[in-house]
């Protein structure tokens, strides 16, 4: 009896050793994902911005992944990273892993589609009203039992104090506890209503613009004030501006109705706003940041909205959110997606009737 008990105990201990040995050989799924993002981004800096890590943190994770596999996957160059022969093999296998994970999610999708509850999204008034608001129907159709509480404000929500589950803003937060993801980039350019240009003519330089009626959106962002000072040095705002407002929608409609010339994100023109780009060679880029608490990403309903927001601002799909500036008149040539709903339909006729 005793010898049999000893053999059983030895058998159990041996099994535990085998299990532990196999557990050390389990693949690093997160490392494989970061490796894929590195190759897709082309450089550590681009990939780090996309996944919300610092460049050094991403390098450390890739190095750990390489050590676990016992090989070098990428080499660093001035223009980015290049795959080794081993890296090409791992890339193919990692892509297969990603596709398998997608299929697993789709297999369980029937139950996940029934997610319920509320997700709080804080977003700037312009992006919320003129972009996300017009696209939310896509999210609602896929998640009919989730409620989005969208709070549009220029005030940055405190995600750490749970004022919001997710925040989309135009300034990068610095709190270490937050996950930060760069969604894309806004490009501000000068626009006017056709009625304004027909009445007052079109300026072709900042010097000529200083003789026109100019409208400007102002808030607590010092970058906007610096941009004004660079464009119109020595000219006080009260001498030049016809309107100052801190509300994006008021700023937009003042331009669309012919009150003056002002800067707007190029995506507004791309989705069919009744405005005309003004031929002044000035463009002002502003990055779009999504932030959330690291623990929030583990909540399925919050994760669902995070993933959708990444797709809704995808620079690959929507060229007006790319890092490089594309002139407004060229955006329709770059866009290859399906037809976009025009959020301005129904308002255009009112403007025409009022200006007639």
Q: Say yes or no: 191 and 81 in one domain.
A: no
- Sequence-distant (≥ 6) Cβ neighbours of residue 320 within 8 angstroms: 187, 265, 266, 267, 270, 326, 331
At 8, is the pLDDT very low, low, confident or very high (cuts 50, 70, 90)?
A: very low
Q: Which of 66, 86, 107 is the last residue of a domain?
A: 107
Q: What is the pLDDT of residues 200-211, one digit of tens each?
A: 999 999 999 999
Q: Is residue 351 part of a domain?
A: yes
Residue matched to tokens 């129907």? 137
Q: What is the pLDDT of residues 234-284, one digit of tens each?
A: 888 888 888 988 888 899 999 999 999 999 999 998 888 889 999 998 888
Q: Say yes or no: 200 and 349 in one domain.
A: yes
Q: What is the model's pLDDT at position 318?
A: 92
Q: Say yes or no: 201 and 87 in one domain.
A: no
At 36, is the pLDDT very low, low, confident or very high (cuts 50, 70, 90)?
A: confident
Q: Which domain holds residue 26?
A: 2-107
Is a pLDDT exceeding 50 seen at residue 94?
A: yes
Tell me the C-alpha distance between 75 and 83, whole Å: 7
Is a pLDDT exceeding 90 seen at residue 352?
A: no
Q: What is the model's pLDDT at position 304?
A: 92
Q: Say yes or no: 190 and 282 in one domain.
A: yes
Least confident of 2-6, 163-167, 268-272, 330-334: 2-6
Q: Is residue 159 part of a domain?
A: no
Q: What is the model's pLDDT at position 265?
A: 93
Q: What is the pLDDT of residues 44-92, one digit of tens each?
A: 988 888 787 888 999 999 999 999 899 999 998 887 889 999 999 998 8
Average pLDDT for 20-36 = 67
Nearest Cα residue to 219 out of 285, 155, 167: 155
Is a pLDDT exceeding 50 seen at residue 297?
A: yes
CA distances 209 to 145, 202, 204, 276, Å, are 50, 8, 7, 15
3-state secondary structure at position 226 = helix
Q: What is the model's pLDDT at position 152?
A: 85
At 16, is the pLDDT very low, low, confident or very high (cuts 50, 70, 90)?
A: very low
Distance of alpha carbon 19 from the chain centroid: 42
Least confident of 21-25, 109-113, 132-136, 326-330: 21-25
Q: Say yes or no: 347 and 226 in one domain.
A: yes
Distance of alpha carbon 207 from the chain centroid: 35
Q: Say yes or no: 78 and 220 in one domain.
A: no
Which alpha helices (H) appear in 170-212, and where do they start and end?
Answer: 194-200, 206-209
Residue matched to tokens 């749970």? 162
- Tell me what the pLDDT averaged over the chain comes to: 81
340's tokens: 């976009």
Of all residues in the chain, the percent with pLDDT exceeding 90 is 34
Q: Is residue 47 part of a domain?
A: yes
Q: Is residue 9 part of a domain?
A: yes
Nearest Cα residue to 47 out of 94, 72, 324, 39: 39
Q: Say yes or no: 223 and 350 in one domain.
A: yes
DSSP 121-161: EEE-HHHIIIIIHHHHHHHHHH-TTEEEEEEE-SSPP-TTT
Q: Say yes or no: 63 and 212 in one domain.
A: no
Residue 275, domain CATH: 3.40.190.10
Q: Do 52 and 181 touch, CB atoms closer than 8 A?
A: yes
Q: Is residue 153 part of a domain?
A: no
Q: Say yes or no: 70 and 204 in one domain.
A: no
pTM of the model: 0.64
Q: Is residue 87 part of a domain?
A: yes
Q: Which of 59, 75, 107 is the last residue of a domain?
A: 107
Residue 10, domain CATH: 1.10.10.10
Q: Say yes or no: 350 and 242 in one domain.
A: yes
Q: Which of 59, 78, 107 is the last residue of a domain?
A: 107
Least confident of 19-23, 145-149, 265-269, 319-323: 19-23
Question: How many structural domains does the chain have?
Answer: 2
Q: Is residue 134 part of a domain?
A: no
Q: Say yes or no: 230 and 350 in one domain.
A: yes
Highest mean pLDDT among 5-19, 188-202, 297-311, 320-334: 188-202
Q: Is residue 328 part of a domain?
A: no
């Amino acid at each position: 009896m005793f010898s049999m008990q000893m053999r059983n105990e030895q058998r159990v201990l041996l099994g535990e050793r085998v299990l532990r040995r196999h557990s050390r050989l389990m693949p690093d799924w997160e490392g494989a994902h970061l490796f894929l993002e590195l190759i897709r981004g082309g450089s550590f800096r681009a990939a780090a911005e996309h996944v919300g890590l610092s460049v050094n943190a991403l390098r450390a994770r890739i190095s750990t992944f390489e050590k676990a596999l016992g090989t070098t996957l990428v080499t660093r160059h001035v223009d980015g990273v290049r795959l080794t022969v081993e890296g090409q093999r791992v890339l193919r296998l990692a892509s297969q892993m990603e596709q398998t994970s997608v299929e697993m999610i789709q297999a369980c999708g029937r139950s996940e589609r029934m997610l319920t509850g509320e997700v709080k999204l804080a977003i700037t008034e312009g992006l919320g009203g003129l972009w996300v608001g017009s696209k939310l129907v896509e999210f609602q159709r896929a998640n009919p039992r989730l409620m989005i509480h969208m709070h549009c404000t220029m005030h940055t929500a405190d995600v750490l104090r749970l004022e919001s589950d997710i925040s989309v803003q135009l300034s990068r937060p610095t709190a270490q506890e937050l996950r930060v993801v760069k969604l894309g980039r806004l490009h501000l350019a000068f626009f006017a209503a056709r009625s304004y240009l027909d009445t007052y003519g079109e300026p072709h330089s900042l010097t000529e613009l200083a003789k026109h009626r100019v409208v400007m959106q102002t808030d607590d962002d010092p970058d906007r004030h610096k941009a004004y000072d660079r464009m119109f040095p020595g000219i006080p705002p009260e001498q030049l501006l016809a309107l100052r407002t801190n509300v994006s929608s008021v700023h937009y409609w003042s331009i669309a109705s012919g009150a003056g010339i002002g800067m707007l994100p190029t995506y507004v023109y791309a989705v069919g706003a009744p405005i005309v780009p003004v031929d002044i060679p000035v463009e002002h880029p502003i990055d779009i940041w999504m932030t959330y608490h690291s623990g929030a990403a583990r909540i399925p309903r919050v994760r669902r909205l995070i993933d959708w927001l990444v797709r809704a601002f995808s620079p690959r799909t929507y060229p007006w959110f790319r890092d490089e500036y594309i002139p407004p008149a060229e955006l329709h040539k770059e866009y290859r997606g399906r037809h976009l709903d025009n959020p301005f339909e129904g308002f255009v006729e009112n403007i025409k009737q009022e200006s007639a």
